[in-house]
Structure 1
Amino acid sequence: MQNVELRNYLHLHFIVFIWGFTAILGELITIDALPLVWYRMLLASGFIFLYIFFKKIPLKVSKKSFLILLSAGVVIALHWITFFAAIKVSNVSITLAMLSTGAFFTSILEPVFYKRKLIWYEVFFGVLVILGLYIIFKVEGDYFLGIIYALCSAFLSSVFSVINGKLAKQNDSSMISFYELLCGVGVITIYLLVRTFIGTTIEGFSWSFFQLSTSDWLYLLVLASVCTAYAFIGSVQVMKYLSPYTVMLTINLEPVYGILLAYMIFGEEEKMSPQFYYGAIIILSTVILNGIIKNAKKRKRGSTLHNITK
């Protein structure tokens, strides 16, 4: 059993490493954020459909659930668009550091969605996150637009996680992901078609839209297959063997892996001021401490319940 847990723990780290590599691919792919996300969602939904087909997973869903999946698909599409837009106008380090604020946004949204009270330490951690953001804003003002895009992406990520938290209790994860990706790419397609026919300054579908370089095709295939479809399916699998606390703490290493990878690959382009790293460490430490306290409280409640029922 310990060997199984260790194998899945190492597998989870590999998956988180892959997620960190997503930002690197966003920097390497030369097309803009919107077509990048369109290609990613289209290809990834195809790969996940193949998985569903071979596993014979049913795709039947109620109308109410489909509408929720549609809204989640739009949210994840906007999350990825703002994520890659942030990389394009700033860099990987800025984007991933800001993305760590997603846990802070979730702590604000959860009381609204799940109708629970605000927790004092979440408010305190929220203040620390704002402090970390202030430090980064102060020293990296040249990347202002990238910071704003990345914060929007973090907020959308937290909205998506809250929506998915409700869906996952009632539906198969692969089916959820397939419909969300398909709905997301469907909405983007409609938007691009409208842009194509009304002829605005924002380009829709055109001959150049489908003329990608060989390297872009290669990176997109890796992004859609390995970093999206495989990573998603693998993460679902390891969650069967590892505790949510272990999974949460490991996932928080994504920005660390991504920033280190970016520095190794892009060198001086990703080198930031010391104050930036101070701010990023404050944000990351806050996220980890929040998880530790939540896990401790959950264990305490479980222990109390066990004693009562004995």
Structure 2
Amino acid sequence: MLGDKLKNYLHLHLLVFIAGFTAVLGKLITIKAIPLVWFRMLIAGLLMLVYIKLTRTKLKVSLKTFFKLGLAGIVVALHWITFFGAIDVSNISITLVMFSTGAFFASFIEPIIYKRKIIWYEIIFGVIVIIGVSIIINTEFKYINGIILGVISAFLSSLFAVINGKFVEQHNASMISFYEFIAGVAFISIYLAFAADGFTKENFFALSTNDWIYISILASVCTAYAFIGSVHIMRYISPYTVVLTYNLEIIYGIVLALILFSETEKMSSGFYAGALLVVATVLANGIIKNRRKRKSTEGIDVS
């Protein structure tokens, strides 16, 4: 029998694999990014509500908190729209590498939200990431729209993560996600209500059988289950290990993309050089942060 520690690590890697598979589903689903995110957030929100009822989690919040969660829900909706939009106009590889730059947006957003000073090595790493992205732009300029959308998605993702970090300090994580999902659905619904090609049977609800299957997997396995699983796993594995392991999402996603969509996912050597620079910097940033945190908790001056 596998030990509990090994089971938790295997579970963590399964969750990371699922995260990488999200981009593949975005490629397989034929509808546009906005309706895709609407369906994803609606189904995931309903599944989260079932989970909340089963666990008897309280949903009552103040009006001020409700509006704050609503704004965070709009941010995550825009993050997913730009993420899947980047896949639509470029490919999975471009999108995932650009998405990995989010760690460095967080390095500049965190000081504002948490009122701390910017760390010197974060600036250096930020410059290296910019160099890596520049190499990719120079060698894959035909995907410039995907690169821009991917970077915007990364920024929105890091903004959402930092904001959510504040919420989790005071509120239940599943309750937070439920309100954010519902707020995202409401936000997109308002947009679609005024859009020329919004809620119509012909172009919105008339999905193919494959699209329904893929969206259901995306909302249930890649959203609701992945959230519940990540909350569970962080009870047994350190947040640092979880965050660092999730960087493998990029590798899993690109490998899956190369296997399933070899014709559109094979990139130039310049792309892989820039991608390696970005990913290696993200990993180095995580490792250094963990070492500094350990030293600070031991009372060692690391300033």
Bin of the TM-score, shorter chain as denominator length: over 0.9
Does residue 199 of structure 2 align to residue 205 of structure 1? yes
1:29: which partner in 2? 29
Please give the per-residue CA displacement for 1:142-183, whole angstroms capped at 9, x wherever unaligned: 000010011000000011001101000001110011110010
Residue 194 of structure 1 deviates from its aligned partner by: 2.1
Kindly report which structure 2 residues correspond to 1:94-113, keeping only aligned pairs within 5 A, or say none.
94-113=94-113
2:184: which partner in 1? 184
Residue 244 of structure 1 deviates from its aligned partner by: 1.1
Q: Aligned equivalents of 1:170 and 1:62: distance in 2? A: 12
Does residue 46 of structure 2 align to residue 42 of structure 1? no
Q: Aligned equivalents of 2:162 and 2:36: distance in 1? A: 25
Does residue 58 of structure 2 align to residue 68 of structure 1? no
Residue 270 of structure 1 deviates from its aligned partner by: 0.4
Kindly report which structure 2 residues correspond to 1:36-185, keeping only aligned pairs within 5 A, or say none.
36-185=36-185
Q: Aligned equivalents of 1:79 and 1:122: distance in 2? A: 23
Q: Aligned equivalents of 1:63 and 1:103: distance in 2? A: 31
Give the % identical residues.
59
Q: Aligned equivalents of 1:189 and 1:269: distance in 2? A: 33
Q: Aligned equivalents of 2:37 and 2:240: distance in 1? A: 30
2:261: which partner in 1? 266
Aligned-pair Cα RMSD in Å: 1.0
Please give the per-residue CA displacement for 1:10-60, whole angstroms capped at 9, x wherever unaligned: 101100100100000000000000000000000110111111111111111
Does residue 251 of structure 2 align to residue 256 of structure 1? yes
Q: Aligned equivalents of 1:133 and 1:269: distance in 2? A: 20
2:286: which partner in 1? 291
Residue 235 of structure 1 deviates from its aligned partner by: 0.4
How many residues align? The count is 298
User: Which one of 200, 216, 224 corresponds to residue 221 of structure 1?
Assistant: 216
The amino acid that maps onto 1:266 is F
User: Which one of 249, 270, 278 corresponds to residue 275 of structure 1?
Assistant: 270
Please give the per-residue CA displacement for 1:179-224, whole angstroms capped at 9, x wherever unaligned: 10010001111111122xxxx3xx1111121000000000000000
Does residue 3 of structure 2 align to residue 9 of structure 1? no
TM-score (norm 1): 0.95
Residue 106 of structure 1 deviates from its aligned partner by: 0.3
Q: Aligned equivalents of 2:292 and 2:97: distance in 1? A: 27
The amino acid that maps onto 1:136 is I
Q: Aligned equivalents of 1:282 and 1:82: distance in 2? A: 23
TM-score (norm 2): 0.97
Q: Aligned equivalents of 1:304 and 1:207: distance in 2? A: 63
Residue 268 of structure 1 deviates from its aligned partner by: 2.2
Please give the per-residue CA displacement for 1:114-143, whole angstroms capped at 9, x wherever unaligned: 111111000000000000000000000000
Q: Aligned equivalents of 2:141 and 2:259: distance in 1? A: 24
Q: Aligned equivalents of 2:70 and 2:113: distance in 1? A: 18
Q: Aligned equivalents of 1:301 and 1:174: distance in 2? A: 31
Residue 65 of structure 1 deviates from its aligned partner by: 1.2
For structure 2, list consecutive stretches of 5 or more residues without a partner in the other structure: none
Q: Aligned equivalents of 2:277 and 2:181: distance in 1? A: 33
